[in-house]
A and B are shown apart, each in its own frame.
Chain A
Amino acid sequence: DAGITQSPRHKVTETGTPVTLRCHQTENHRYMYWYRQDPGHGLRLIHYSYGVKDTDKGEVSDGYSVSRSKTEDFLLTLESATSSQTSVYFCAISGGQYNEQFFGPGTRLTVL
Chain B
Amino acid sequence: AQSVTQLDSHVSVSEGTPVLLRCNYSSSYSPSLFWYVQHPNKGLQLLLKYTSAATLVKGINGFEAEFKKSETSFHLTKPSAHMSDAAEYFCVVSGLSGGGADGLTFGKGTHLIIQP
Contact = CB atoms under 8 A, between A and B. Distances in A.
A44 B106 contact: yes
A48 B101 contact: yes
A40 B36 CA distance: 16
Interface in A2-46: 31, 33, 35, 40-45
B49 A98 contact: yes
Contact of A33 (B49, B51, B103): B103
A56 interface: yes
Interface string A33-73: 10100001111110011100000101100000000000000
Give chain A's interface secondary structure class: strand
B109 A100 contact: no
Nearest to B99: A97
Contact of B44 (A31, A48, A56, A90): A90
B96 A43 contact: no
A36 B98 CA distance: 24
B90 interface: yes
A101 interface: yes
Contact of B94 (A48, A56, A59, A99): A99
Interface of A: 31, 33, 35, 40-45, 48-50, 56, 58-59, 90, 92, 94-106
Interface of B: 32, 34, 36, 42-46, 49, 51, 90, 94, 96-109
